[in-house]
Homo-oligomer: A and B are copies of this chain.
Amino acid sequence: MGVRLADLVEHLGGSISGDANLIVAGIAPLEHADASSITFLSNPKLRKQAGDTLAAAIIVKASDAEFLRDQFNGTLIVVDNPYAYFAKAAQFFAALTKQPIAVGVHPSAVVDPSAKIAASASIGPLVCIEADVVIEDNVRIDAGCFIGRGAKIGADSHFHANVSWHHDCRIGQRAIIYSGAVIGGEGFGFASEAGRWIKIPQTGGVAIGDDVEIGANTCIDRGALSDTIIEDGVKLDNQIQIGHNCFIGANTAMAGCVGVAGSAKIGRNCTFGGAAMVLGHLTIADNVHISSGSMVSRSINEPGQYTGFYPLAKNADWEKTAVIVRNLDSLRDKVRAMEKTIQALTESTNATPTKDLT
């Protein structure tokens, strides 16, 4: 079950300073690593701790390697980006212990005869696949998933158990969809007439690129007349809601519980902290970073980090400040009035001695 460091470097790059024939069994954080594992140092502040690690080898950048050569007896793997290298090494080790998947369609699955399912795909127990679905090579659909009519799933994708994937929604290659995700539910669209809601049929779909991850119980609604669009490399955590006709640019990542209302257009390489919310029909530029718990209520044209949540306090202190916030306009009015009074006082005080002097 071990991996020779030379083999790891052959696959993932980097240069070895030390024993290239060392065999390691896995990867572990600095403080838990032992002689059978490699570890990594990505934060220079942990240099000292890295010197004390029991790991067989450390993944480091060149500047830290310099420092560690005196402090650490083991082997160094010198790379440009130790954290990304750690991620790839962890994938490498995980692949070694991966359970083999049964290829083919489980007899308890219900598959429409018109569906085109690659011979290399794995369709789990109690899955339902409707008419005209296309499932490409090496796709894995776990137990209890529903794949609606006309959907298309790109090669090497993995749907975890109990995903609901609605008709005519498409996703590219290497997708990972977690349990309970609902893709292609109908958007929340109504016209109001005489106090009642008239449903607007949602006839668009959801079009998703390659290398997209969609978290557990996350929802992406289908578009009203055209598609909801998720570009390549987008990563969505759990419990996220993406409204109809949203556009999410490539490589944007959203943490858990984020909500994006309908028709919002979000740029590329953005990040959203947990429970951030975006109102509908807004536009957010590329490289915008929204902090957790923040409500985006206007479009953002300039890259940068944006925040908006009420600071936490002891409850009694919050009660005090909340009352003042609620009445901030009267505080501001007081300050304005005082400014005028002071202005008048200053003039009169300055005037008084002047008069006295004349």
Contact = CB atoms under 8 A, between A and B. Distances in A.
A180 B32 CA distance: 35
Nearest to A80: B193
Interface string A277-293: 10100000000001111
Nearest to A127: B126
A213 B190 CA distance: 11
Given A251-B196, A297-B311, A341 B346 contact: yes
B197 A251 contact: yes
A186 interface: yes
Interface string A251-263: 1010111010100
Interface residues of A, number: 133
A306 B297 contact: no
A164 interface: yes
Given A213-B199, A308-B313, A191 B87 contact: yes
Interface stretch (A1-9, A68-76, A320-328): A320-328
B215 A188 contact: yes
A114 interface: no
A199 B324 CA distance: 40
Interface of A: 27-29, 32, 81, 83-84, 86-88, 90-91, 93-94, 99, 106, 108, 110, 124-126, 128, 142-144, 146, 148-149, 160-162, 164, 166, 176, 178-180, 182, 185-186, 188-193, 195-201, 203, 211, 213, 215-217, 219, 221, 225-226, 233, 235, 237-239, 241, 243, 251, 253, 255-257, 259, 261, 269, 273-275, 277, 279, 290-298, 304-315, 317-329, 331-332, 334-335, 338-339, 341-342, 345-346, 348-349, 352-353, 355-356
13 contacts: A84-B192, A87-B199, A179-B185, A180-B180, A185-B216, A241-B257, A257-B277, A309-B310, A320-B329, A321-B329, A324-B331, A338-B339, A352-B356
